[in-house]
Amino acid sequence: LSINRRFSEEDLTASLWLKEFIYNSCTDSLRTAIDKKFNKIPLEQQGGVTYLWYCLDEMFTMSREIRQAMLDFIALFKRRGVARYTGENILVIEEELQCVAKRLAADGSLTQDH
């Protein structure tokens, strides 16, 4: 994966622009988390696509805290039901529960107990 040695001059420029665009689009805390991983890889592997991959990985990899928050959301719904929603809006409830359930199922964290 020696992208910086194999790219043409135009590809290197595009890679640099992509990295700068992603970097400037991130919050300070996200930049810090990405840079911890990005700066550990060899220089010839540090490019825009690699930076983007670390950014997306950092944003969308489910942590234990996120997983637990989603499981707590389901537990809260089991205890309080539709009454906790303003107007008991079934469309909002369905959307929220489906999103949480799909993400937990994709991660393998959704069991029969939930």
Measure Cα distances from 77 to 40, 59, 62, 80, 86 in Å: 42, 26, 21, 5, 14
* pLDDT < 70 stretches in the chain: 1-5, 114
Buried b (16+ CB within 10 A) or exposed e, 98-113: eebeebbeeeeebeee
